Amino acid sequence: MAEANRPEIQLKINSRRGIGTGNIIHPVEIESSPTPFLAATTAGNQTQTPSPFREIKHFKKWFPWLIPSFVVADTVLFVITMYVNDCPKNTVSCVATFLGRLSFQPFKENPLLGPSSSTLEKMGALDVSKVVNDHQGWRLITCIWLHGGLFHLLANMLSLLVIGIRLEQEFGFIRIGLLYVISGFGGSLLSALFLQSNISVGASGAVFGLLGGMLSELITNWTIYANKMAALFTLVIIIVINLAVGILPHVDNFAHLGGFSSGFLLGFVFLMRPQFGWVSQRYTSSYSRVGPRPKYKTYQLVLWLISLILVVAGMIAGLVSLLRGVNLNDYCSWCHYMSCVPTSRWSCDTNPVSCMSEQTGNQYTLTCSNNGKNGTYWLNNPNSSQIRGLCSQLCR
């Protein structure tokens, strides 16, 4: 008989429309509604009983400060790199000379409007020979904070802001920071195992890690999304287009693939949401006749465990292989096409440039060892950086 007088429990669910992902229910924070007390009259006396109304609100929103900090850090490091580069001192001709010491290398040497390769190497670019032979493993991390040029920096930072801020708002700076850095490391690792003749820089591997995390987040939190297939199709198209750009020359698609794969696995580990039934029962179990519900669905826990094992095992195996000097091209003869597909319009030759030099007074004759081209220059006591810059222009 007591149960006949039990007040009815009502749940009010706030849902919102995610950017490009349809309606999403975010049942995390729960507060008592400020609904006025209900009045009941008994034997002429008025008594007040609180309403059992409860409101299930959105997941906690985080203030995004880490991703903008990454953008500022990358921009500052680019300015410092250009200052160290000092094009007017080390190169015969520069682009945007009005910038003085911050002016760019010639277009033939660096079409991205940036520093020389020797400067990038000095600042911490990924150089496999130094990682393996000189034990400079820190380059696997420092290279993701450097950029090859102004165009490179703008493209990566714009992508980072568009993708990263939304993720940091949803999941917080700790999880997204770890996802970004570990994905960048994974991208550097795969790049080092395949591209061992050139240096590599850029945050694109880490940015692709965020894209991979978005995809796995959609999969593992599938039940809280509306318009699931539309969201999945849109995200897959974006990823495919970005990876397709990587087959162009001078683009390190192995860093993209390594970062994306790492981020995809880490998304199952870091971005898993509690299911709605578990959240709602925490505040209605005293009135509910339904048994307790698990916090996560079984498939979420299975994906979490498998992904954690794969990402840890993959990172360890890749790092051990790199330090042993393994070149994965020796075991996969066609894999290089994943980073560059040669056509009649461009070449995929990644061999480092070198030149033969002959001096007669102030006259220097350089002959490119790669393509046989030669050029004559009149220089007054040139330094090694100037000679390397002229050689690089000649061999392009």
Point out the residues that are catalytic.
204, 256
Distance, CA of 160 to CA of 156 (rounded, Å):
6
**CA-derived radius of gyration, the chain:** 28
SS3 of residue 330 by DSSP: helix
Distance, CA of 101 to CA of 330 (rounded, Å):
43
Give the pair of three-digit tokens for residue 283: 């505040």
Q: Torsion-angle region of residue 129: left (phi > 0), alpha (psi -120 to 50) or beta?
A: alpha
Distance, CA of 269 to CA of 263 (rounded, Å):
10
Distance, CA of 375 to CA of 231 (rounded, Å):
55
Distance, CA of 225 to CA of 239 (rounded, Å):
20
Return the closest-CA partner of residue 33 out of 6, 49, 11, 59: 11
Q: Torsion-angle region of residue 22: left (phi > 0), alpha (psi -120 to 50) or beta?
A: left
Give the pair of three-digit tokens for residue 64: 């995004």
